[in-house]
Each structure stands twice: as structure tokens, then as C-alpha cells.
Amino acid sequence: MFTRILVAIDGSESAKKAFEESIYLAQKCSSKLDLVHVVSCELGGDSATTFELIDELKTKAEKMLDEYKTLAAKNNVSIEIMVIQGDPAQVIIELAKTKKHDLIIMGTRGKSAFQELLIGSVSQKVMHHASCPVMVIR
Ligand code: ATP
Ligand code: MG
């Protein structure tokens, strides 16, 4: 059970909590973790400035996920990191399906400023459409 876990990381405190829980679960179940950050394609356009900005966001995300990788290694948890461009919920749902994850772990909230919402739109969409169980950490 829970041998391959997908953890969605957006740089928020909520996702950090989700990561911490995933480490705990991975230790208990000897799971392999895949960490993903999606660089949102809301940044439309095809100007050089857009491409530069996307590159910058990808580099920043890789650095952030590298730090998580180090933390996982310290806890003897096997981990892979991925930075993908696209619609966050769609990428998470597709990835879990193609890579046959048996659990997705994510935060209730993300980096958005709309704090009055109980749950963010990415978590909500993944919960509705994922092909495997979803654990939403608060
Ligand atoms: P919204 O984005 O709907 O305005 P929000 O930012 O508060 O609200 P979500 O974006 O749904 O809430 O974030 C909830 C969780 O979804 C995060 O804790 C994280 O686990 C995951 N998530 C959100 N965006 C991304 C992303 N770009 N890449 C990877 N995971 C993400
Ligand atoms: Mg968000």
C-alpha cells in the first residue's frame, strides 16, 4: 500500500506540511516519493520576456525541490523531483495516472491570497478528478 506517492509542492507553508507528512508516511510504508512543482501556464504569450520568466521560475523551483530532496535523503526516503510546465491540477492528475501513483499528497491551501476559501482550486480539482486516493493536509 502507498508504494509510490506523488507530492505536490507550490512553495507554500501548506505544501511544506504535506511534504512533512509524506516523509512520515514514506518511512512507515517504505514508499518512494515523487515531488512535483508545476510552473503555471497562465503566464501565456510567446515573447522573449515570457520565456525568460518561465526559465527563471523553473530554476527557482528546481532549487526549492533540491532542498526537499536533501531533507528526504537525511530521512532515508527515496525521492525524485520534477518541474513541469502546465496547468497545475491537470499536470498532477495526468502524472498520477501515467506514473501509477497510489496516493497524492497535497496541502489544503497554497500561495493564493484568497484566505477565506476553505480549500484551494488546485486541491479541489485534483480531489474531484484524480484516479487514486488524495490526502489533503491541513
Ligand atoms: P488558488 O490557487 O485556488 O487561488 P490556493 O493557492 O490557496 O488557492 P491551491 O493552489 O489549491 O490553493 O493549493 C493547494 C495545494 O495544491 C498546495 O498546498 C500544493 O500541494 C498544491 N499545488 C498548488 N499549486 C501547485 C503547483 N503549481 N505545483 C504543485 N503543486 C501545487
Ligand atoms: Mg494556488
For residue 50, the domain's CATH number is 3.40.50.620
Where does 30-115 have alpha helices with state H? 48-74, 88-98
What's the whole-number average pLDDT of the chain?
Answer: 94
Pocket mutation for ligand 1, best pick of 57, 123, 125, 126 (most atoms within 8 Å of C-beta): 123
**Whole domain around residue 16: which residue ranges?**
4-137
**pLDDT digits over 66-113, tens only?**
999 999 999 999 999 999 999 999 999 999 999 999 999 999 999 987
State how far the Cα of 28 lies from the Cα of 46, in Å rounded to an integer.
46
- Ligand 1 center–CA 14 separation, angstroms: 9
- Best residue for ligand 1 mutational test, from 5, 6, 9, 10 (most atoms within 8 Å of Cβ): 10
pLDDT in tens, 103-114: 999 999 999 877
* Residues 6+ away with beta carbon under 8 Å from 21: 105, 135, 137
Count of domains in the chain?
1
Global pTM value: 0.96
